[in-house]
Amino acid sequence: METLEIVLDADQRVAAERLDAIAARLGKRRLFHFGQRAPRGLYLYGGPGRGKTMLMNRFLDSVHTDRKRRYHFHEFFARLNAGIHEYGTIDASADALIGDAELICFDEFHVHDSGDARLVARLLDHLFARPVTLVVTSNYPPQGLLPNPLMHDLFVPTIDRILEHLDVVSVNGPTDYRSLGGRHTGFAAGHYVVGDCTTAGAVDLPVAHRQLHARALENGQLTVDFAELCGIPVSAADYLELTRTVHSWVLCDVPPMGTVPEDWAMRFVNLVDVLYDADLELSIFAQAPLAELGSEIKRVPDLYRTLSRLGELREPANLEAR
């Protein structure tokens, strides 16, 4: 069978060369004492759909060791917080997650909340003190983390630490590869439909010590209104927990994000991030076309990434709302 060769754009080639150099050093490092200095890490940033995750996964596959860990940042934060309750401290929780890893990869690294910023600062200090190589992808350059001008200065020392320990490479070519389509499995097997979701019914399921009121839950498929799933105070970790039993998601009555409270829109961003990373099918029944969904995109950090990901969903002209 002929293997398709991936043709990288200019930014991707630069990033791939830097990642290949790290992989080569990690391979040699295993021949020496564990106390040898870890290869310098890498911070890849750029807009959505520019191939950052593809490059990270390609790199991770090329590092032939079982002492490597890859986390989506939502997933890591959820597990880190759970571990703090179990072990008592951030450091102990981080140690349990990292183990003896010599390579840690974070996908979709971001900081928007001051509380998260303090936790990220502690986590990075802990990682940088260990013989671990850190590789991250982000939609933001380091200087763009925690962009709120009222809080940004508090995070500048941590940004300086990032720049001290990681090389920064832009992966921000002209093409959003997600917009090209071409795959119809997992997340992208879903649909984006402008119309009503006609599934009727009522079922309750527990989420974060409360009851989620859904339309249906059958054979691993959850059908639920946007207001029910994104209008209650739940976290990305709660969505992650739901993915243990829900493998297909139908989200009904999704309004333009400019018409809902910012915390609702941010939960929508988190939900799509979680489902995209888990590659679980998502279908959306919306009140407006995708081009109008993010009309107030500047109000909500990362909504542009969500719109890019939703662009992978099919929009069949003749699909009947179900």
What is the pLDDT, as a whole number, of residue 180?
Answer: 67
What is the pLDDT, as a whole number, of residue 318?
Answer: 40
What is the pLDDT, as a whole number, of residue 215?
Answer: 97
Asked if 216 contacts 322 with a C-beta cutoff of 8 angstroms, the reply is: no
Pairing, β 248-254 against β 281-286: parallel
What is the pLDDT, as a whole number, of residue 36?
Answer: 64
Rg of the chain (C-alpha set) = 20
User: In which residue are the tokens 């997992």 written?
Assistant: 186
User: In which residue are the tokens 């850190």 written?
Assistant: 134
Which residues of the chain register pLDDT less than 70? 1-6, 27, 29-36, 178-183, 296-297, 316-322
What is the pLDDT, as a whole number, of residue 237?
Answer: 87
What is the pLDDT, as a whole number, of residue 265?
Answer: 94
Identity of the residue numbered 82: A
The SS3 call for residue 126 is helix
Determine the length of the chain: 322
How many angstroms separate the CA atoms of 65 and 133, rounded? 13
What is the pLDDT, as a whole number, of residue 296?
Answer: 66
Element (H, E) at 227: helix 226-230
What is the pLDDT, as a whole number, of residue 183?
Answer: 63
What is the pLDDT, as a whole number, of residue 316?
Answer: 59
Pairing, β 210-214 against β 203-207: antiparallel
How many angstroms separate the CA atoms of 42 and 53, rounded? 13
CA-CA-CA-CA dihedral for 91, 241, 311, 2, to nearest 10 = 80
How many angstroms separate the CA atoms of 224 and 275, rounded? 15
Cβ contacts of residue 112 below 8 Å, gap of 6+?
Answer: 146, 147, 148, 301, 302
What is the pLDDT, as a whole number, of residue 179?
Answer: 64
User: In which residue are the tokens 């720049």 written?
Assistant: 163
The SS3 call for residue 103 is strand
The SS3 call for residue 229 is helix
Cβ contacts of residue 55 below 8 Å, gap of 6+?
Answer: 12, 15, 16, 19, 44, 137, 171
Asked if 300 contacts 262 with a C-beta cutoff of 8 angstroms, the reply is: yes
